[in-house]
């Protein structure tokens, strides 16, 4: 059995070889191999399918919860941390096509790479089988994360928390200033959060999304120095 066949067995679905290889092709590998297509378009597609599938599931299964609580739970289980956890359970990292630099820096275990590749896998399944099969896979792999209390707390959508506080307290507009350093295949980002004219926390991460979340988390702690971090 080939390596990719083993992955498909763990996933419990079939994906044609060309689409599967595309889903597993990180931009660092594509960059070093003549600019071949990457998994980023599939990631974009899979992210939308993932978000819808989880939103529908939560709406149906938790009819007593208001919109805000549903949104927080969705944000938790579609977060980079949650998807990376799923990826590690599947031993996904060893199947991802990575460039030399990412291989040397243990890219196969990076949460951002694992999470992005999981989204690309969801997009690939949708293209091969349609929405019902893609949704079944997502619910089978992702909804168990709803039982992980530690994950739910750690994966709080800090950007939403900050946005709600700023709006509720009429503190001013929320703005993230993001800068990136390093080559395209190994970028590192720093985000600074502003509310109105006040500069608050900073955060770092391998993606703009993660850097902004960390900046929002750091800002909440600055705004509430004597409180413990909120959980779902």
Give the DSSP per-residue string, 2-64.
Answer: -HHHHHHHHHTS---HHHHHHHTB-HHHHHHTTS---SHHHHHHHHHHHHHHHHHHHHHH-TT
Torsion of CA 154, 160, 165, 167, to 10 degrees: 180
Give the pLDDT confidence score for residue 232 in this predicted structure: 46
Q: Cβ(94)–Cβ(117) under 8 Å? A: no
Give the pLDDT confidence score for residue 139 in this predicted structure: 96
Give the domain ranges of the chain.
Answer: 3-155, 158-223
CA dist., res. 113 & res. 26, Å (int)? 8
How would you classify residue 91: left for phi > 0, otherwise alpha for psi between -120 and 50, otherwise beta? left
Buried residues in 27-50 as b, exposed as e (16+ CB within 10 A): bbbbbbeeeeebbbebbebbbebb
Q: Is 119 annotated as a binding residue?
A: yes
Q: Is 132 annotated as a binding residue?
A: no
Active site residues: 47, 119
CATH topology assigned to domain 158-223: Double Stranded RNA Binding Domain (3.30.160)
Q: Is 193 helix (H, G, I), strand (E, B) or coil?
A: strand
Give the pLDDT confidence score for residue 52 in this predicted structure: 96
Q: Is 116 annotated as a binding residue?
A: yes
Alpha-carbon radius of gyration of the chain = 19
Q: Cβ(28)–Cβ(102) under 8 Å? A: yes
**Nearest CA to 110 among 206, 219, 214, 18?**
206
- Burial class of residue 52 (count of CB atoms within 10 Å of its CB; 0-12, 13-18, 19+): middle
Tell me whether domains 3-155 and 158-223 share a fold. no
Q: Specify whether domain 3-155 bears CATH 1.10.1520.10.
A: yes
Positions of the chain with pLDDT under 50:
230-232
**Nearest CA to 46 among 155, 151, 128?**
128
Give the pLDDT confidence score for residue 35 in this predicted structure: 86
* C-alpha separations of 6 from 3, 13, 80 in Å: 5, 11, 24
């Amino acid at each position: 059995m080939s390596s990719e066949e083993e992955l498909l067995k763990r996933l419990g679905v079939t994906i044609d070889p060309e689409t599967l290889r595309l889903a597993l092709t990180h931009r660092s590998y594509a960059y070093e191999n003549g600019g071949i297509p990457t998994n980023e378009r599939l990631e974009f597609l899979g992210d939308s399918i993932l978000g819808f599938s989880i939103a529908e599931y939560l709406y149906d299964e938790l009819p007593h919860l208001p919109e805000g609580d549903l949104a927080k739970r969705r944000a938790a289980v579609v977060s980079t941390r949650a998807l990376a956890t799923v990826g590690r359970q599947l031993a996904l990292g060893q199947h991802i096509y990575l460039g030399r630099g990412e291989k040397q820096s243990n890219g196969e275990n990076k949460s951002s790479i694992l999470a992005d590749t999981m989204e690309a896998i969801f997009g690939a399944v949708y293209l091969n089988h349609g929405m019902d099969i893609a949704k079944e896979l997502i619910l089978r792999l992702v909804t168990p994360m709803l039982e992980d209390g530690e994950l739910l707390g750690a994966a709080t959508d800090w950007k939403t928390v900050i946005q709600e506080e700023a709006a509720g307290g009429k503190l001013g507009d929320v703005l993230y200033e993001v800068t990136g350093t390093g080559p395209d295949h190994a970028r590192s980002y720093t985000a600074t959060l502003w509310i109105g004219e006040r500069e608050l926390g900073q955060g770092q991460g391998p993606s703009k999304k993660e850097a902004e979340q960390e900046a929002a988390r750091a800002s909440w702690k600055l705004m509430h120095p004597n409180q413990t971090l909120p959980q779902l």
